[in-house]
Structure 1
Amino acid sequence: MNVIIRYTALVEQNVMQAANDMEKVMDISLAQIVEENLPPRSNYALFSKEFFRRHGSDLFACTFNWFLVDTVFYCSILFQSKIYKFKNTDKLDAYQEAIDIAKLQAIITACSTIPGYFFSMYFIDRIGRVKIQMMGFFFMALAFFAIGIKYDSFWTKERNKYGFLVLYCVAFFFANFGPNTTTFIVPAELFPARFRSTCNGISGAAGKIGAIIGSVGFLWASHGKNEDREGFPVGIGMTPSLCILGGVCIVGVVITTFFTKETMGRSLEDNET
């Protein structure tokens, strides 16, 4: 009963109406409802000075981290075709090439994406959201730097393609055992109930903006002067592009370290102020 009354009061900000509604369906009088057990009412509005004083840094952290991880994550998908060079591609028809690409994507998913989510599920209430997010950004940065710095001179060689695949899987594993999971969870745990969906939506929208900027930017930046792509301006090449992605991940580590609050073990009712 108290849970229902609390929830109604928090969302509607109308304790008396909640009490009257409960009186209609339960054998309890209005006088029996102890109002002081309800959390204190907070009358400040969304995007008010009081909101930004209490939750401004939280909204900044959630929004910026989601923006950063989606910028990197969707770029990672775009250069997937560079991981595996098909032999005798001129002799492959479109169907066989699609099958081979699907096999590669299935291997990546089975070896990195799915295990990353399972690791997050297991450890998120043991080591916390902030540590997982920091760790994810950090190891993603290492993977991108390792791929990018020696990309042209080392990773483009046929004999090194499997090492490239391993590093690529590491980046995807720590994306999911990291910010690609925690950025969905933290906004849902940091804000009062009446602001939670809105702040989560703002953070998610920032992520999609990052996905657009990252995808379009990477398509331009990743091809260098020696690559002939009709209709595209000359880019900066794969090495600088991948190193930029690594730098974006380092920014994510910094933002997470200094601005993201830990919500492990924290009751949602603690946010209702």
Structure 2
Amino acid sequence: MSEIANLPDQAHQPYIDLDDRRRAALAEIDNAKFGWFHIRACIVSGIGFFTDAYDIFAINLVASMLGYIYFINNKNKLPANVDTAVKVAASVGTMVGQFVFGWLADKVGRKRMYGVELIIIIVATIGQSLAANSPALSVWSAIVFWRLILGVGIGGDYPLSAVITSEFATTRRRGAMMAAVFAMQGIGILAAAVVALIVLVAYKDAIQADINYLDQVWRLVLGFGCVPAVCALYFRLTIPETPRFTMDIEQKIDKGAKDAAAFLERGAAAGDYSEADVMARSEVPKASWADFVAHFGQWKNGKVLFGAAYSWFALDVAWYGLGLNNSFILSSIGFAGGSDAYTTLFNTIVGNIIINLLGSVPGYWITVFTVDKIGRKPIQLGGFVMLTILFLILGFGYNAILSYSSALFLVLFTLAQLFFNFGPNSTTFIVPGEVFPTRYRSTGHGISAASGKFGAVVAQVGFGALKDIGGTNMWIDHLLQIFAFVMLTGVFSTLLIPETKGRSLEDLSGEDQANFVGPEKEKASRA
């Protein structure tokens, strides 16, 4: 029995009951049998990540098309500043969206914000696909604007999908559920290339007769990104609030307990409540700036936030630095250039499909099937170690490897893609959705994710500015060496995070959960 239960003052009895009910409801969720409602939660969240990845990485292919239409006088390529702006805009917006939506989800609720980010994505996707030149605004400026807005919606999806999945998941399969949601990123990247290939091939004769038909191709490729978002919108707007938010932030224990039982039974909220149910409130720690500082000011909690945030930053420096600037990879393996625009674009798209099928997609799904067996920390640590080694080999042996065999270069790069995704690219998404208390779970994930996108912005701007020092792609080897060093720092930041496998969210919260519900004065005296 809890400490409060042993107190002689019977005025504490209501808090004893609420505390027991809260623990029982959370235990039901943590130990539930895996069912359709868990699969539905993964699908609804996963479609969002499919859309996010599609929209982010489709621009890598579209940028090549824009060069042929709008920059004929620049050797059919976007100027460096335009290329950087078009590619980095979504990352800047994403960084803002991750932080803002992360905070809002803890402030007003997961349910109230879920779906809002998809609406933003849908509107911005349509907007960018309809961008055009005008006397006041160039087409690429309009694309940059809409991709900035698009990024805000994409950013909101990160903390919301992660936290909703983790708070509905069973303890035993929480890692796999979150990894499956994130694995849709790999499918989305692949889908962007497949859709681009289908549309390009469909327009082959028209493009070869008149290159301006590429203007229709890139609009269709970008516009398709809103289709899965539209399909998922209804389900996101109707998903129930998580019982953890209801109990720990809204402080309605009875309502949260009944919602938990209803979700496990039929995957929905319990419905109407009596006034007594709704007003059965508790006193639990409340989010505030002072409480945030007090909680994360403790080294045991602060180091976890720093470790999660910096690990994501380190990962995204290399992940986005290469992912949105992979033309040198395609050139190295013989999938770049061609006799005309159609052939060049066809080779570029096919090369992207090969790279993703060989390394990226398998890596995500290996994580799904192993993360609850191996653990998050070993996968992240092993991934950073392997990436450090691979980038050292690729960086210091870049010219020698290419001179010896392009196939060897492809094998090494494929291994790097594998260990990105069977490694920190998956676990940096999972861990921040598990290690923070309910009142800061979404905020903490948003801070960690925004740190990652800051790394992406640094990488994309830096990559564009540095790669051509001394000539086209002449500084690539040094960039790969820099990536090796950054991956090494990720090894050390990983040591700051706990292993979350098999542990409840309350166990990972960094605070005493024994007598969580009760008068603040009693909580203060126990502290």
One-letter amino acid matched to 2:506: E
Post-superposition offset of 1:111: 1.0
* Equivalent-residue separation in structure 2 for 1:185 and 1:125 (angstroms): 11
The Cα offsets for residues 6-58 of structure 1, whole Å up to 9 and x where unpaired, read as 65221223558879x99x737xx88xx9x9xx9x8334635322332152111
Aligned to 1:170: 415
Is this contact kept in 2: 1:84–1:161, CA < 8 A? no
Aligned to 2:378: 131
Aligned to 1:106: 353
Structure 2 unaligned segments of length 5 or more: list them: 1-20, 26-241, 260-269, 512-527
The structure whose RCO (Cα within 8 Å, separation 6+) is larger is 1
* Equivalent-residue separation in structure 2 for 1:160 and 1:18 (angstroms): 61
Counterpart of 1:136 in 2: which secondary structure? helix
One-letter amino acid matched to 1:253: V
* Equivalent-residue separation in structure 1 for 2:468 and 2:401 (angstroms): 15
Is this contact kept in 1: 2:286–2:439, CA < 8 A? no
Q: For 1:1-273, list aligned pairs within 5 A.
A: 3=25, 7-13=245-251, 15=253, 25=273, 41-43=284-286, 45-46=288-289, 47-53=292-298, 55-85=301-331, 86=334, 89=337, 92-152=339-399, 154-157=400-403, 160-225=405-470, 227=471, 237-257=475-495, 259-272=496-509, 273=511
Counterpart of 2:507 in 1: which secondary structure? helix
One-letter amino acid matched to 2:311: N
Is this contact kept in 2: 1:113–1:176, CA < 8 A? yes
Change (3 A) 1:125 1:52: same
* Equivalent-residue separation in structure 2 for 1:261 and 1:194 (angstroms): 19
* Equivalent-residue separation in structure 2 for 1:88 and 1:248 (angstroms): 28
Aligned to 1:233: none
One-letter amino acid matched to 2:456: A
What CA RMSD, in Å, does the superposition of the two structures yield over aligned residues? 3.1
* Equivalent-residue separation in structure 2 for 1:202 and 1:238 (angstroms): 30
TM-score, length of structure 1 as denominator length:
0.81
Post-superposition offset of 1:136: 0.7
Counterpart of 1:196 in 2: which secondary structure? helix
Post-superposition offset of 1:76: 1.7
The range that moved more, 46-55 or 8-17, is 8-17
* Equivalent-residue separation in structure 2 for 1:128 and 1:58 (angstroms): 16
Is this contact kept in 2: 1:44–1:51, CA < 8 A? no
TM-score, length of structure 2 as denominator length:
0.44
Counterpart of 1:61 in 2: which secondary structure? helix
Q: Which aligned segments of 4 or more residues in structure 1 are displaced greater than 3 angstroms? A: 4-7, 13-19, 43-46, 84-89
How many residues end up aligned between the 2 structures? 253
One-letter amino acid matched to 1:146: I
The Cα offsets for residues 222-245 of structure 1, whole Å up to 9 and x where unpaired, read as 2232x169xxxxxx8222211110
Change (3 A) 1:101 1:179: same
Change (3 A) 1:270 1:165: same
Is this contact kept in 2: 1:143–1:171, CA < 8 A? yes
Post-superposition offset of 1:81: 1.8
* Equivalent-residue separation in structure 1 for 2:478 and 2:401 (angstroms): 14
The range that moved more, 174-183 or 9-18, is 9-18
Structure 1 unaligned segments of length 5 or more: list them: 230-235
Is this contact kept in 2: 1:44–1:50, CA < 8 A? no
Is this contact kept in 2: 1:134–1:253, CA < 8 A? yes
* Equivalent-residue separation in structure 1 for 2:477 and 2:423 (angstroms): 24
